[in-house]
Every structure is written in structure tokens, then in C-alpha cells.
């Protein structure tokens, strides 16, 4: 649903305020009872508050405090989950949990925990260290016993929240985004809910506003409770170290403590910290929090030290002044039901909470006698038969998946909304390689201007309304050679950056039938799309030569195509391709993986602060400028090489003010970069350690400042252009890549990958953000390949070569 398709609302039987997991569950409960209900969400998507940043656990309530509403509703929910998850089609796994005792004192407390669990009706067993060594060898050897809770489960919290909403919409409910409640009047005969869009009159309202539940209640004159935010920081690792159960310590006074939790789609979650605060918007992460998480989780799973987190984030749990859930009529009148203080078990108890909340209102409103509707179901996700092009290269997310996400019942207007539906941007580069493509698709699908597409929170703009001019066209023009013309080859070079070009030219010169494949429309890679003034003479010559050889078909060219898999079939390689034109494959004797890299995103380093839009890499800037869009007005550009300098030039040309911090550890500011110096010295390497002196960012929803060497600089963009991470996604399917970012392709001294005919070259082997050695690296690997060929193969190549000339 686009911006222009917002429903006009003036009346409903019930209004639900807040589109978190609890609000959406209440909406579904109302819809099942046939009640005309509308949900108002202040942000642009459901699950934009507490529901988006938590441990994603469906908790059995084994350790809930006796006699609490929370304990009762967790148990009620446990009864409903199996059917509900099946009906709603939500990704979830009953992986079980282990509460570790790491001392004899701890072990004694496990008995109490087991007894408490049994009083709640939760199945548990006490297991010893031998059991742990066998079933969970990843836990610390210090664990002397554990409480095994087999029914603890993990879930995708975004999917669950959305599935509630989608199922409710399917039963006739309405969901309106970007509708913050500014006024609320409770009368004996109904409620009036005021938003920026107008006033809705309803018979009943539910305050499910999470962190803002007390603020909403106060709008109606109810000040009987307060909500305090409790911040929890998390880390995400793609490497699991075999962790297949939730691992937790004996709980402390602030909760369960730090956990190591499998993620339903793979990877593990570490954390959370627990810190009471007063700022309901403070989702910043800190170096100290990260250190505490790693320290605590290492005590549970020592292999945490081998994990390289690809992301950190923080969530805020709404802690009520009563210490328990609040589910009751408001002091302002019984036509407002308070559903608040759902501290950290909102996902787990959401079915029970929704049921209880609606029952509070049902008898007073006469809803109890209404017949229940059919069992709720979320609309099954349907994919088009053909995958189309790959949108997110890190996770191989296809156009078909993006299209299915955009066609869902709840509207999708932000980058984060799209990410949570289909995984675009969840991978190693954290969306820096696909965000601009996603902006284009979102703008197109919703009939919105690109400048109106936001990252997530309202105000988190990504590109300015003004364009930077005409879309850039860099690199060389080539003639398209569709896959159908190149079903067979002596060698396929995956990646047409400088290394790939170097390899292709050398192999073609030896007479091999070479096909060059790249996800971009033109060869040249990261360097090829810079202004030509940044190319070396050798690079310029190579780009010209490869264009000429492609034009006369001496080198096969398949652009705008992603290689999604390499398969060894009958002693040859089958290279699987995906593009807008469809799927195809090429069979070949030799594959050279020259997939380059992506600029290291913020998430792979420690930069404190919130997660506003405006923190990006040079990859994202390049994509935006290629579209003619300006991603910044005032940018801090980090890096001392030509990529950084060229990116700064591009931003200036697009009208942005650029700040190049001169960080002491990295030496002087980057040389040149201006029009007077077309061939600067870009040989300076980036020093290890703090990236350009950047230690923190501030601002939310859009970046407002960057802390450099202890001083704050005002900026609405931080552009990282200082380090490259090798792109080895393709090799992971062969068991050769590492799921941790930053680990290069594992080659021998000649560039061989240890499998017949499989080689790698360039920055996927030796990460170098400026690609100084890429052209030579490609050429060198090609020579190594040619040296392995028999005399007969060499003669055949020469014959083919003479035939061409």
C-alpha cells in the first residue's frame, strides 16, 4: 500500500494503539471475534519498537515469578503456540535451553529453579556434565550441571508481529502506519483518538504503546503507572560454533542475564545487557556494552572468542512501576484497556496477553457473545516461478522474494521493513551494497519519490530530495552477450573488477575461450566506476582492451548477472547464473573467483552510538551517485586512499559539503582529490585500529554528528571508505569460505583453491580498498593457470587465437 493509499478512518468498534507484537496480537484477537478494529502505529512499520530488538525467544515461563500475571499468561500462551505458529506460518524452532551451573553453589540453585519450573507445569530435567559434553559440547567445561528446558523455542520476531497483523487484515482489520496518537478522550459512551490524520471515534481502545504506554494513558488523564526503559545491547554473529540451544546462566536480579541464543535463520545472538535508563529513544550501543557481552557469553560458550560479530544493536524493554504486566481497565474509564509493562516476555506471552486484554473489554462491550471467526492464517508467501536478478548479494535474495515482500498485506515503505520481510540487507555488508537498489524498488512499488524512502524510523532519510544530476555512467561501454550465447567456456571469470579483467585478458591472449561475468552492467568493478581521472594508465589500457575484446566477441561478457553457485559436475564446473533475464548456467574447465570485496561497514568495527540513517560505506555512495541521487548534505569521509578521495569528489559534485578528518594514526589527510590534482598519490594504506579516529556517532533518526579523535563534528553522513572486506560468499557453498567477515579466500601461493580448476584472485584474496595490485594479481593467477596446461592444450589455444586474428 503506497502513501497515497492510506485509508480514511473516522470510526471503528475498537482502536489498538501500538503496532508491536502485543498490539498486533490484540488486533488479531479482536478480528477473530468479528470486531471492526483498526491499529494505529506511530512509525512506518509494525515491530519498530521493543518488538524489533530482543532475544527472539518463545519462553516457557519456567522461571516466572509465582502468582504474577506474567506467569499465568506465559502458561496460557504455551498452550496456544503450537497451533498458532502453524496457522500463522512463522519461522520458529523448539531448540530447548540450558541453564548452566558453573559452581556447586549454582548447582544447588538449579534444584530450586527446577522446582519452580515444575510448579508452572514446564517440563525440565537436571543434567550433569557428562550429558553436556555429549549433547552440548560447546558449553564451558566449567559447567558442572545444567537445567535442560526442552520446550524453550526461538522465533523470528518481525515475522511473528507481521503475521499477527497480516492475519488480522485478512479477517477485515485495518492497520494504519505513521499515525502517532496525539490525543485520547475516554467517555462513558466511547473513545476519541486523535492523530495527525484526524480523529477516530470508537467504542473501545487498547493502549498497547509499549514504551509509550504511560504517555498514551496520560493523554486520557490516567497517570496510575509509569514505564521505564531498560536497555539491552546485543551482538549478532554468523558463526554459531555449533550452538543449537539457548544457553543461559543462573538469573540475576535484572533478568536472565546474558544469553547465547541461536537465531532461527542461522547465526547466534549474544546478550542482552540490562541497564535502566530514562530516555525512551536511546538505542545506542557502546564499547563497554560489547565488552560486557563478550565477557559474559564467553563464560557460557568459550568459542564466543572465535565469533566475529557482524552487527550490534540495542533494544528497550518497557518496565512498569508495578513490576508486573498491567492488563486492566484504565483509571480514565473502562472503554480504555491498559496493556502495558510487557517487560521482556512480550513475544512469549503475546497470545495470552491478547486473549486476556480482549476479555477485559469483552463483557463490558457485549463482545463475549459473538461467534469466533475461522482459525487465523497468514497469507502464504508466494514466489514467482523465476528468481530474477539477485538484489542482495550477501544473502542471494532474489527479485522474486522482494516482489513477494512488497505484495504483503501490511505496507512496506522503508528499507528496514523490506529487510525484515525478505532478508535484503541482513548480510555481511549490512545493506550497503543493496540499499540503493532497495530504495529504487520501494519508490517504484509505492509511487513515492526516492527522497521519501526512509531507512526505518520517521525522518531517517537516505537520499536527499534533490538529485545530484544525471545518473553517472563510468567505465567502458560493452556489447551485451546474453547467457544463451555462452553455454560453454574454457574459463569463467567471476567478477569483472580489475583482477577479473587482468585474468580474462591474459587467458584470452593465450587463446582460451573466456567468459567474464559481473553483477554490474559494465566491467570495471569498484575502480571502473570512479571518475576516469582516478585510473592508472595500466587500468585505463586494460579497460579499453577488455571493451574491445568483448565487442569483437573475443571475450564473452555477461553483465548484470550474479553467479549464485559453483557445482562440480563430471569433472567440469557448472557456473549457475541469475539475472533479470532468468537462470542460466555455463560449463567450464576453469573458474577464477575475482569477486572483490565490499567496504567494511560500521557494524564490523566498534563505533558507539545509535543506528541512524546516514552511516554508510563508499559502496552505497557510489550506487546513489550512479542513480543521480545525493546521499548526504554534509559528509565525513573516512579513508586515505583513492576510493575515499574519489568518493569525496563525487559527493562534492552532488552538492554535499565534505569533511576529511586528518586522523593522527592514519597520517595526513588524503592527498589531493581536487580538480587541480587529477593523479594524486593514493598509495597510503589505512592504519589498523580505530577507523579514522571515529569512535562514536550521534543523532536519530538521521545522523547528526561524528566524534573524531574526541571532538564532535556536525554531519548528516559518515562515509566509510577505508577498508575492504573480501567477498567470499560464493565459496561458502563449497565449504571454502568462512562465515566470519574479513576472512579472505583460502588460496595457495599460486591462487589455487584446492579444488581442480578453481582459482581466486584480487581483493577477495588480498583485501585492498584501493585495488592497487588487483590488475597484476589477476594476470599472475592467469599465468599460473596457463602453466598447468598441457602442450596440446597450449597448441589448441594458439590455434584458436590465430583463427581470431
Partner 1 sequence: MSVIADEDVTVHAPRDRIWPVFGDAALLAQVLPGCEHLEATGPATFQGVLATKLQFLTLRADVTATIADAQPPDQLRLELEGRPRGLAGGFRAAIPIVLSDAGAETRVHYQLDLTTSGRLATFGAPILRDSFRKQVATLVANLERLLVDPSGAA
- Give the footprint of partner 1 on this chain (CB under 8 A): 85, 89-93, 95, 156, 159, 244, 262-267, 380-387, 390, 395-398, 400-401, 404, 423, 427, 562, 564-567, 576, 578, 583, 732-733, 735
Q: Least distance to partner 1 from the beta carbon of 739, Å?
A: 10
Cβ(315)–Cβ(187) below 8 Å = no
Taking the least distance from each CB to partner 1, the nearer of 379 and 801 is 379
Taking the least distance from each CB to partner 1, the nearer of 65 and 732 is 732
User: What torsion do the CA atoms of 210, 211, 217, 223 make, to the nearest 10 degrees?
Assistant: 130
Grid cell, residue 134, equals 555429549
DSSP 407: T
Taking the least distance from each CB to partner 1, the nearer of 583 and 743 is 583
Q: Least distance to partner 1 from the beta carbon of 708, Å?
A: 36
**Which of 623, 607, 281 has its CA nearest to residue 425?**
623
How far, in Å, are 491, 591, 603, 650, 782 from residue 546 at the CA level?
Answer: 15, 18, 36, 25, 15
Alpha carbon 436 to its chain's center:
14
Taking the least distance from each CB to partner 1, the nearer of 137 and 266 is 266
Strands 634-638, 717-720: parallel, antiparallel or unpaired by DSSP?
A: parallel
Residue appearing with cell numbers 565488552: 291
Cβ(167)–Cβ(67) below 8 Å = no
Cβ(241)–Cβ(306) below 8 Å = yes
**Size of the chain in residues:** 805
**Which of 420, 421, 412, 422 has its CA nearest to residue 391?**
422
List, as one string, the DSSP characters of 203-262.
EEEEE--GGGHHHHHHHTT--S--EEEEEEEEEEES--TT--SEEEES-BTTBS--EEEE
Taking the least distance from each CB to partner 1, the nearer of 591 and 785 is 591
Helix (H) or strand (E) holding 40: strand 37-40
Spatial distance between the Cα atoms of 545 and 527, rounded to a whole number of angstroms: 16
Q: Least distance to partner 1 from the beta carbon of 603, Å?
A: 17
Q: Least distance to partner 1 from the beta carbon of 170, Å?
A: 16
**Which of 428, 423, 425 has its CA nearest to residue 437?**
425
Taking the least distance from each CB to partner 1, the nearer of 55 and 460 is 55
Residues 6 or more apart whose CB falls under 8 angstroms from that of 398 comprise: 387, 388, 389, 390, 391, 578
Taking the least distance from each CB to partner 1, the nearer of 254 and 384 is 384
Q: Least distance to partner 1 from the beta carbon of 581, Å?
A: 13
Strands 397-398, 390-392: parallel, antiparallel or unpaired by DSSP?
A: antiparallel
586 - beta bridge partners? 575
Grid cell, residue 149, equals 528446558
**Rounded to the nearest 5 degrees, what angle is found at the Cα of 784, between the Cα atoms of 560 and 494?**
10
Q: Least distance to partner 1 from the beta carbon of 266, Å?
A: 2
Taking the least distance from each CB to partner 1, the nearer of 267 and 757 is 267
Q: Least distance to partner 1 from the beta carbon of 319, Å?
A: 31
Taking the least distance from each CB to partner 1, the nearer of 267 and 673 is 267
Spatial distance between the Cα atoms of 693 and 709, rounded to a whole number of angstroms: 5
Helix (H, G, I), strand (E, B) or coil at 534: helix
Taking the least distance from each CB to partner 1, the nearer of 275 and 576 is 576
Taking the least distance from each CB to partner 1, the nearer of 142 and 565 is 565
Q: Least distance to partner 1 from the beta carbon of 135, Å?
A: 14
Q: Least distance to partner 1 from the beta carbon of 385, Å?
A: 5
Q: Least distance to partner 1 from the beta carbon of 91, Å?
A: 5
Q: Least distance to partner 1 from the beta carbon of 512, Å?
A: 26
Report CA torsion sign: 713, 716, 722, 723.
positive
Q: Least distance to partner 1 from the beta carbon of 162, Å?
A: 11
Spatial distance between the Cα atoms of 289 and 275, rounded to a whole number of angstroms: 10
Residue appearing with cell numbers 506465559: 74
Taking the least distance from each CB to partner 1, the nearer of 433 and 554 is 433
Amino acid at each position: 500500500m503506497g502513501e497515497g493509499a492510506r485509508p480514511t478512518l473516522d470510526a471503528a468498534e475498537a482502536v489498538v494503539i501500538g503496532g508491536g507484537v502485543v498490539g498486533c496480537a490484540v488486533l488479531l484477537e479482536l478480528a477473530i471475534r468479528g470486531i471492526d478494529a483498526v491499529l494505529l502505529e506511530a512509525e512506518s512499520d509494525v515491530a519498530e519498537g521493543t518488538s524489533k530488538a530482543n532475544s527472539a525467544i518463545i519462553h516457557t515461563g519456567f522461571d516466572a515469578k509465582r502468582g504474577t500475571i506474567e506467569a499465568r499468561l506465559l502458561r496460557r500462551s504455551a498452550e496456544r503456540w503450537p497451533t498458532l505458529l502453524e496457522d500463522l506460518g512463522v519461522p520458529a524452532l523448539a531448540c530447548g535451553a540450558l541453564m548452566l551451573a558453573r559452581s556447586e553453589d549454582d548447582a544447588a540453585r538449579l534444584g530450586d529453579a527446577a522446582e519452580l519450573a515444575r510448579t508452572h507445569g514446564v517440563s525440565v530435567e537436571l543434567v550433569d556434565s557428562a550429558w553436556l559434553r555429549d549433547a552440548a559440547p560447546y558449553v564451558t567445561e566449567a559447567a558442572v550441571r545444567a537445567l535442560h528446558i526442552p520446550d524453550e523455542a526461538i522465533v523470528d520476531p518481525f515475522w511473528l508481529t507481521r503475521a499477527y497483523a497480516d492475519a488480522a487484515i485478512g479477517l477485515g482489520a485495518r492497520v494504519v502506519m505513521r499515525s502517532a496518537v496525539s490525543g485520547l478522550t475516554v467517555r462513558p459512551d466511547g473513545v476519541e483518538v486523535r492523530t495527525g490524520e484526524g480523529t477516530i471515534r470508537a467504542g473501545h481502545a487498547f493502549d498497547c504503546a509499549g514504551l509509550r504506554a504511560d504517555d498514551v494513558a496520560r493523554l486520557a488523564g490516567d497517570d496510575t503507572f509509569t514505564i521505564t526503559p531498560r536497555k539491552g545491547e546485543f551482538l549478532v554473529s554468523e558463526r554459531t560454533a555449533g550452538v543449537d540451544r539457548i544457553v543461559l546462566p543462573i538469573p540475576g536480579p535484572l533478568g536472565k542475564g546474558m544469553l547465547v541464543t541461536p537465531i532461527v535463520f542461522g547465526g547466534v545472538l549474544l546478550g542482552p545487557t540490562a541497564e535502566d535508563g530514562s530516555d525512551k529513544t536511546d538505542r545506542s550501543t557502546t564499547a563497554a556494552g560489547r565488552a560486557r557481552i563478550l565477557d559474559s557469553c564467553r563464560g557460557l560458550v568459550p568459542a564466543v572468542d572465535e565469533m566475529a560479530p557482524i552487527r550490534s544493536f540495542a533494544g528497550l524493554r518497557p518496565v512498569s512501576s508495578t513490576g508486573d504486566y498491567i492488563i486492566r481497565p484504565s483509571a480514565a474509564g473502562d472503554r480504555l484497556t491498559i496493556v502495558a509493562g510487557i517487560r521482556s516476555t512480550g513475544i512469549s506471552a503475546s497470545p495470552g496477553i491478547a486473549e486476556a486484554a480482549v476479555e477485559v473489554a469483552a463483557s463490558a462491550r457485549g463482545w463475549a457473545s459473538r461467534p469466533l471467526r475461522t482459525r487465523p492464517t497468514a497469507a502464504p508467501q508466494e514466489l514467482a516461478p523465476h528468481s530474477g536478478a539477485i538484489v542482495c548479494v550477501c544473502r542471494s535474495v532474489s527479485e522474486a522474494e522482494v516482489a513477494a515482500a512488497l505484495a504483503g498485506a501490511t505496507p512496506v515503505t522503508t528499507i528496514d521493513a523490506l529487510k525484515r520481510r525478505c532478508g535484503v540487507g541482513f548480510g555481511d555488508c549490512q545493506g550497503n551494497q543493496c540499499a540503493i537498489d532497495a530504495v529504487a524498488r520501494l519508490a517504484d512499488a509505492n509511487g513515492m519519490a526516492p527522497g521519501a524512502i526512509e531507512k526505518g524510523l520517521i525522518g531517517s532519510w537516505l537520499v536527499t530530495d534533490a538529485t545530484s544530476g544525471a545518473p553517472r555512467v563510468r567505465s567502458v561501454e560493452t556489447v551485451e552477450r546474453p547467457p544463451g550465447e555462452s553455454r560453454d567456456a574454457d574459463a569463467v571469470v567471476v567478477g569483472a573488477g580489475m583482477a577479473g579483467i587482468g585474468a580474462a585478458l591474459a587467458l584470452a591472449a593465450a587463446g582460451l575461450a573466456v567468459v567474464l561475468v559481473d553483477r554490474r552492467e559494465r566491467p570495471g568493478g569498484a575502480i571502473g566506476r570512479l571518475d576516469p581521472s582516478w585510473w592508472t594508465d595500466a587500468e585505463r589500457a586494460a579497460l579499453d582492451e577488455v571493451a574491445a575484446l568483448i565487442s569483437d566477441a573475443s571475450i564473452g561478457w555477461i553483465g548484470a548477472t550474479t553467479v549464485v553457485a559453483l557445482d562440480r559436475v563430471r569433472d567440469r564446473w557448472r557456473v549457475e547464473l541469475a539475472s533479470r533475464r532468468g537462470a542460466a548456467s555455463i560449463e567450464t574447465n576453469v573458474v577464477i573467483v575475482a569477486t572483490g570485496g565490499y567496504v567494511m561497514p560500521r557494524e564490523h568495527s566498534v563505533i558507539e552510538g545509535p543506528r541512524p540513517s546516514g552511516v554508510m560505506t563508499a559502496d552505497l555512495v557510489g550506487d546513489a551517485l550512479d542513480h543521480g541521487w545525493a546521499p548526504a548534505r554534509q559528509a565525513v569521509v573516512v579513508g586515505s586512499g583513492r576510493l575515499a578521495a574519489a568518493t569525496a569528489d563525487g559527493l562534492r559534485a552532488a552538492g554535499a559539503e565534505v569533511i576529511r578528518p586528518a586522523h593522527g594514526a592514519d597520517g595526513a589527510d588524503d592527498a589531493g582529490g581536487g580538480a587541480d590534482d587529477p593523479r594524486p598519490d593514493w598509495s597510503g594504506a589505512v592504519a589498523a585500529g580505530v577507523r579514522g579516529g571515529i569512535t562514536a556517532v550521534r543523532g536519530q533518526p538521521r545522523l547528526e554528528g561524528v566524534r573524531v579523535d574526541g571532538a564532535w563534528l556536525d554531519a548528516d553522513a559518515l562515509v566509510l571508505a577505508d577498508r575492504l572486506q573480501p567477498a567470499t560468499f560464493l565459496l561458502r557453498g563449497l565449504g571454502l569460505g568462512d562465515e566470519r567477515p574479513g576472512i579472505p579466500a583460502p588460496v595457495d601461493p599460486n591462487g589455487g583453491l584446492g579444488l581442480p580448476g578453481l582459482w581466486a584472485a584480487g581483493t577477495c584474496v588480498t583485501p585492498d580498498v584501493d585495488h592497487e595490485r588487483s590488475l597484476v594479481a589477476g594476470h599472475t593467477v592467469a599465468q599460473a593457470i596457463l602453466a598447468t596446461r598441457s602442450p596440446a592444450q597450449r597448441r589448441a589455444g594458439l590455434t584458436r587465437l590465430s583463427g581470431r586474428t
